[in-house]
């Protein structure tokens, strides 16, 4: 039996990732540029250091665009798209079941604390989490394991006693590097990406029995992928 669940946030609890890709792609097309999923995927679940979609048109393609106006436009469109988004299926059930069975529940996100806390409060699920670690708490975000290692330490459990819930390859890599088992629930965007670390993949947590996770049975069943 495991003692803790540690959730990713963006794309896992609520699908912010598809909304971001759509908002950026729409903005790029206005300037005659197609933002490929291959390009955008490098910044999913991690920082914008490898590919910064806010700056690419200006720094790499040298297009005469007002950087601040571009940023405001993309973020405004993202907010519009997020009004249509709800908590992903199965998340609330797992949070409730985790609390009912005495599990510790953590969150490890490459986003900022302000971003994460705002959405958790809006969704009404902040109080389920015993520990939250974000980009504000670490030097290196995912795929570096530091976020998960800090969350494990905060919860007082070993990597073998916890399971990560992720949606992206960078997140799954971080969990694996921390020595954890990982359940992957890809969203509309990350379902097209390649995952290169061992994980149990399922379309949503609604399709995976809670007991199969906390007993680690799912990692011996069909669905385990490398």
Q: Which residues are catalytic?
A: 8, 10
**Are the beta carbons of 45 and 170 closer than 8 angstroms?**
yes
Q: Which two tokens stand for residue 135?
A: 């980009």
Rg (CA), the chain: 18
Q: Which two tokens stand for residue 182?
A: 């990982």
Report angle CA 78, 82, 87 to the nearest 5 degrees.
145
| Integer Cα distance of 189 and 40 in angstroms | 10
Residues 6+ apart with CB under 8 A from 139: 146
């Amino acid at each position: 039996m495991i003692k803790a669940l540690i959730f990713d946030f963006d794309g896992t609890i609520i699908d912010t990732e598809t909304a971001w890709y759509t908002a950026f792609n729409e903005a790029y097309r206005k300037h005659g540029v197609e933002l490929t999923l291959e390009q955008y995927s490098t910044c999913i679940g991690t920082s914008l250091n490898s590919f910064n979609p806010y700056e690419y048109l200006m720094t790499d393609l040298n297009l005469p665009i007002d950087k601040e106006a571009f940023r405001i436009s993309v973020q405004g469109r993202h907010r519009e798209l997020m009004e249509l988004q709800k908590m992903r299926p199965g998340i609330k059930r797992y949070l409730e079941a985790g609390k009912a069975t005495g599990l510790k529940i953590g969150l490890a996100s490459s986003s900022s604390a302000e971003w994460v806390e705002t959405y958790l409060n809006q969704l009404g699920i902040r109080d389920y989490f015993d520990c939250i670690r974000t980009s504000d708490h670490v030097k290196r975000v995912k795929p570096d394991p530091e976020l998960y290692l800090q969350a494990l330490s905060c919860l007082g459990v070993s990597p073998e006693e916890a399971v990560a819930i992720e949606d992206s390859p960078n997140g799954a890599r971080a969990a694996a590097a921390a020595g954890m088992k990982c359940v992957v629930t890809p969203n509309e965007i990350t379902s097209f990406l390649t995952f290169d670390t061992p994980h149990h993949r399922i379309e949503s947590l609604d399709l995976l029995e809670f007991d199969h996770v906390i007993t680690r049975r799912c990692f011996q069943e069909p669905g385990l992928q490398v």
